[in-house]
């Protein structure tokens, strides 16, 4: 018996797992990460020169991951996180978990692009992830099926040009929200993340330690 394919709204999955308040917090975190990256380069001798500054593109996604895990640990962002590895364990990356979704982070050069295939990890099925099959295949409910979302942001500049949260498929976005275009205003003013991250020596040391931790574990 062939299964009947029922589409599930990708936008509903995005909005239910990452409501406006959470999206606003994430947008602020990414903006802070751009600022933190610039300051980290400025205050690091081996990076603050022509060749060193070319590592900005590598450091920026790590700054986003660093601030997100920090805000989660401080209870300021209602998500959880864990680290996973690619198939040959040469790269360690952060996974943000919320509700029935897992979200990875990627830097891209266009708001219309999703990350290159290697970033999706072969073990994750991107194709037809927004469909349920009825018939011989298992039946998933919204609570039991895990959806794989993606956070992308622009690859250069002093501030992000776009920040997407979306559901990727095998041929591009199934749907996405450019959260940079959404108002940063939230229903409640309690526990808001500050617009500017305070760049203090301790913050730069914490970022450096985070980068070393990710690199060391990724090379094992």
4-7 vs 131-134, strand pairing mode: antiparallel
**3-state SS of the chain: helix, strand, coil percent to 5?**
35, 25, 45
pLDDT bracket for residue 162 (50, 70, 90) = very high
pLDDT bracket for residue 216 (50, 70, 90) = low
**Tens-place pLDDT, residues 90-133:** 777 889 999 999 999 999 999 999 887 655 544 454 444 655 44
Q: Which backbone phi and psi does 83 adopt, to 5 degrees?
A: -105, 140
**Tens-place pLDDT, residues 189-215:** 444 445 455 555 666 667 767 666 666
147-154 vs 101-108, strand pairing mode: parallel
Question: Rounded CA gap, 158 and 169, in Å?
Answer: 30
Question: Rounded CA gap, 67 and 94, in Å?
Answer: 11
* Model pTM score: 0.76
pLDDT at 52 (0 to 100): 47
């Amino acid at each position: 018996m062939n299964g009947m394919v029922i589409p599930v709204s990708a936008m509903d999955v995005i909005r239910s797992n990452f409501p406006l308040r959470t999206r606003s917090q994430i947008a602020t975190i990414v903006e802070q990460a751009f600022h933190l990256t610039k300051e980290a380069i400025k205050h690091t001798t081996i990076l603050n020169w022509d060749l060193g500054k070319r590592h900005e593109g590598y450091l920026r996604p790590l700054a986003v991951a660093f601030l997100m895990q920090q805000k989660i640990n401080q209870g300021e962002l209602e998500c959880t996180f864990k680290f996973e590895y690619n198939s040959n364990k040469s790269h360690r990356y952060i996974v943000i978990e919320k509700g029935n979704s897992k979200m990875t982070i990627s830097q891209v050069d266009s708001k219309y692009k999703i990350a290159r295939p290697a970033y999706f990890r072969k073990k994750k099925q991107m194709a037809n992830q927004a469909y349920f099959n009825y018939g011989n295949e298992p039946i998933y409910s919204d609570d039991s099926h895990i959806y794989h979302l993606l956070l992308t942001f622009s690859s250069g500049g002093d501030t992000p040009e776009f920040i997407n949260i979306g559901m990727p498929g095998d041929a591009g976005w199934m749907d996405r929200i450019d959260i940079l275009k959404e108002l940063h205003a939230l229903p409640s003013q309690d526990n808001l993340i500050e617009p500017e991250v305070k760049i203090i020596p301790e913050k730069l040391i914490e970022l450096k330690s985070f980068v070393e931790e990710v690199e060391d574990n990724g090379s094992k």
